[in-house]
A and B are shown apart, each in its own frame.
Chain A
Amino acid sequence: MLAAVTWGEFLANRMHELWLRLGEHIVLVSISVFAAICIGVPLAMLAFRRRWTQTPVLGVVGAFQTIPSIAMLTILLVLTGKTKDIPALIALTLYALLPIVRNALAGLQGVRPDVIEAARGVGMTPRQTLWMVRVPLAMPVIVAGIKTAAVIAVGIATLSAFIGAGGLGKFINAGLSMKNTKLMVLGAVPSVILAFVVSGAISASEWALAPGVRRRKRGVAGKAARHLAISLPLLVVAFGVLASVWNPFPKRRRAVEITHRIGMPGTVRIATKNFTEQFVVGEMMAQLLEARTRLTVKRDFNLAGTMICHEALVHGEADLYPEYTGTGLTAILKAEVIADPQKAYDKVSEAYREKYGLVWLEPFGFNNTYAITVRAADADEHGWTTISDLKDDAEELRAGFTAEFSERPDGYPGLRAVYDIDFGSVDDFDPQLMYDAIAHNEVDVICAFATDGRIAAYELKPLKDDYGFFPPYYAAPVVRAEFLEEHPEVRHVLAALAGRLDDATMQRLNYEVDENKRDPADVAYEYLVEQGLLKGD
């Protein structure tokens, strides 16, 4: 087993992506704040000039602000039927509206009445009064609103990774999914710095545009400083655009000897859900397709859950992702659990093709179902190999389950009925803490996921589900049928993974990522090379 990576290596490995994500982040924020200015300032003027519109305008704009970000993103995802940037941009724009509208309105209303009377008195038309006097005098307040909006947008933009948009949130999201602190820091710290930079740049520009500075800062140096300060926000935007199209840091390439590539050129968009195993398997598929086909691979990893992946395929925004038979059956098809793995697979294959035009390729081999798991030492001592074996000792045993498992009908309630087992005590744990609890002897039985790396690492033993109670969760690539027709080579290439990854293998690979904090791409690559599926150099 390899040692965990150091910060230095980690940063060096991630610079290319950090640069790109920072660029994307700035572009997301810039576009949405610009849009919010274009919408918000005229709205404020409307509210100012037609007083009766003030309450509805502020009410609606304020209501957007009260919608929790994740809810907003999800609603927009459903409304627009798109993942990624479009809903993220709309959400960010809506959030940016309130500070802009409120400040612009306050600014317009806050101009001293004697100045306005003077404007009328010298013979300005209402329009001239607005543009030559009111707006310029309101400008500092308007700009302060824009600054607030931009800083808020930098923060909220980190959440848009939740629905697959780019930006620094990708790191935070991936870090959360893999419990990788370094990744979370890589997303969080730059976004904090970016918020300061954005706020500072706008303040500098504000200072340089204030009346009087022009006269005080004369001379070549003063003029240069002033112009620099004015253009700072634009420089930040320009940097963002530049960084999202041009990258000085080398993209990390894993050496692959390319012998023969098949199929037609094109692009394949691979999606995954938001947990480690999905990333590892997604990377394996991506790297194999990169090495063996003429397709360009686009990775839309870490989408927030089953529904988003499924919708992305149905709407043709992604081409394939790894899914589990049990999930397809219960979550997507809303069908009854089928205990027999082959029957379950046949059922989802058929229903997916008919209903959604999606094809299930051959399963990878592992079954990521719930596994009632005990310490290996205890199992040896008591001779436990199946769940039924626990029955006699159950009253003595302390169980630690996830809250979900305690409630789901295919979790503990069902288990109790089918096996007639009642544990002495049952406590709910966070999935992460559950493994620690059993390792530290705080509980004796947990509901592990069969492919979790900690089963091996913590010397645990999953017991055999002798009554076949847990539904099978065999993983397989799900592909758009239309895409598969254009690129039949994908089926051929991915067949190399079919049946190859058993539970033990997946446990080992997941452990590399979860516990040793290694990049799923590296873990996948090493496995493929080790298996002779890729030739490294």
Chain B
Amino acid sequence: MIQITSVSKSYDGVSYAVRDLSLEVTEDETLVLLGSSGCGKTTTLKMINRLIEPTSGTILVDGEDIRAQDPVALRRRIGYVFQGIGLFPHMTVESNVSIVPRLLGWPAARRGERAHELLELVGLEPGEYAERYPRELSGGEQQRVGVARSLATDPEYLLMDEPFGALDALTRDQLQQELLALKARLKKTIVFVTHDIFEALTLADRIAVLHEGHLEQVGTPDEMVNRPATDFVREFFGKPAQQLAAFKEML
């Protein structure tokens, strides 16, 4: 469980990227942080594994304050899938996937075995992909590798920062479905950042809508669509619904 309590982040002491945010991510749930760019969703995500330190407030992971933990050790036990690609361009797919096991000092044989398992899990044939370099892969393949890397040590928590943002619609849809399937098999607690409402509705157990650094509403997809708590949320979900209706009419 991840408990975020009254967390604020300010870079200049005047304006706030995140302001007085409190959230709970319960075990095995997928919480989607949703909002337009600059709303503080990525900042919130990065504070969970201490890539960014909060200005105030506390974050507990499994009931322990993360500030009391070594950030390096913390990051190694939380899977992270990066916005864009975030793969190491000078390492093969196999080396990328097994980087965390390597940092943790697993023996080479076990790392290799694990990498192959993971590649199969994300639908990449190890024989074909293991020795390739990231730039030799398509965007979708790269992001599968990114997901495989985050799962390497079978972490309880996964942080995903707009992982599918740069992909075309078809590939994105495919990966979303695969993520759902994976989640059903692996039982992970996932915090997923996106600005895409449909992605949020597809993946989320609960959605937290952020706007200008504060939390507008948190709830199930159904609650967000049918019982918006603020005007912003109503507007936010209403817009695409109208667009969709217009699109349907055209058809």
Contacts and interface: CB of A to CB of B under 8 A. Distances in A.
Given A117-B51, A137-B89, A211-B133, A122 B76 contact: yes
B74 to A, nearest CB: 8
A253 interface: no
Interface string B128-140: 0001110010000
Contact of B75 (A114, A122, A137): A122
Interface string A102-121: 00000000000011011111
Contact of A123 (B72, B83, B131, B136): B72
A357 interface: no
Given A211-B133, A212-B133, A215-B132, A121 B100 contact: no
B112 to A, nearest CB: 16
A122 B89 CA distance: 15
A330 interface: no
Contact of A114 (B49, B86, B131): B86
Given A137-B90, A211-B89, A118 B82 contact: yes
Chain B interface secondary structure, helix, strand, loop or mixed?
A: loop
B151 to A, nearest CB: 12
A124 interface: yes
Contacts of B87: 118
Given A123-B75, A128-B103, A215-B131, A118 B136 contact: no
B49 A121 contact: yes
A125 B71 CA distance: 9
A117 B90 contact: no
7 contacts: A117-B86, A118-B88, A121-B75, A122-B80, A123-B72, A123-B74, A212-B133
A123 B76 contact: yes
B144 interface: no
Given A117-B51, A122-B99, A133 B131 contact: no
A133 B88 contact: yes
Nearest to A112: B89
A536 interface: no
Interface in B82-104: 82-92, 99-100, 103
Interface of A: 114-115, 117-125, 128, 133, 136-137, 211-212, 215
B51 A114 contact: no
* The 9 residue pairs across chains A and B that have the minimum distance between CB atoms: A123-B76, A123-B75, A118-B86, A121-B80, A136-B90, A211-B133, A215-B131, A123-B72, A212-B133
Given A125-B72, A136-B90, A137-B90, A120 B100 contact: no
A140 to B, nearest CB: 10
Chain A interface secondary structure, helix, strand, loop or mixed?
A: helix
Contacts of A118: 80, 82, 86-88
A152 to B, nearest CB: 28
Interface of B: 49, 51, 72-76, 80, 82-92, 99-100, 103, 131-133, 136, 149
A273 to B, nearest CB: 55
B133 A122 contact: no
B82 A117 contact: yes
B83 to A, nearest CB: 8
Contacts of B90: 133, 136-137, 211
A131 to B, nearest CB: 12
Contact of B103 (A123, A136, A137, A212): A123
Contacts of A119: 88
Given A114-B85, A215-B133, 10 more contacts: A114-B83, A115-B88, A118-B87, A119-B88, A121-B49, A121-B82, A123-B72, A133-B90, A137-B90, A215-B132
A120 B86 contact: no
A343 B21 CA distance: 102
Nearest to A215: B131
A121 B103 contact: no
A377 to B, nearest CB: 80
A119 B99 CA distance: 9
A522 B52 CA distance: 79
Which of A119, A123, A137: most chain B Cβ within 10 A? A123
Which of B87, B89, B92: most chain A Cβ within 10 A? B89
A348 to B, nearest CB: 68
A214 to B, nearest CB: 8
Nearest to A133: B88
A119 B82 CA distance: 11
A531 to B, nearest CB: 71
A215 to B, nearest CB: 5
Contacts of B132: 215
Contacts of A211: 89-92, 133
B195 to A, nearest CB: 18
B82 A114 contact: yes
Contacts of A125: 72
A272 B99 CA distance: 64
Contacts of A137: 88-90
Nearest to A121: B80
Contacts of B85: 114
A415 B88 CA distance: 80
B84 A114 contact: yes
A133 B89 CA distance: 9
A121 to B, nearest CB: 4
Given A114-B86, A115-B86, A215-B132, A122 B149 contact: yes
A124 B51 CA distance: 12
A232 B25 CA distance: 57
A495 to B, nearest CB: 72
Nearest to B91: A211
A137 B99 CA distance: 16
Contacts of A212: 133, 136
Contacts of B88: 115, 118-119, 133, 137
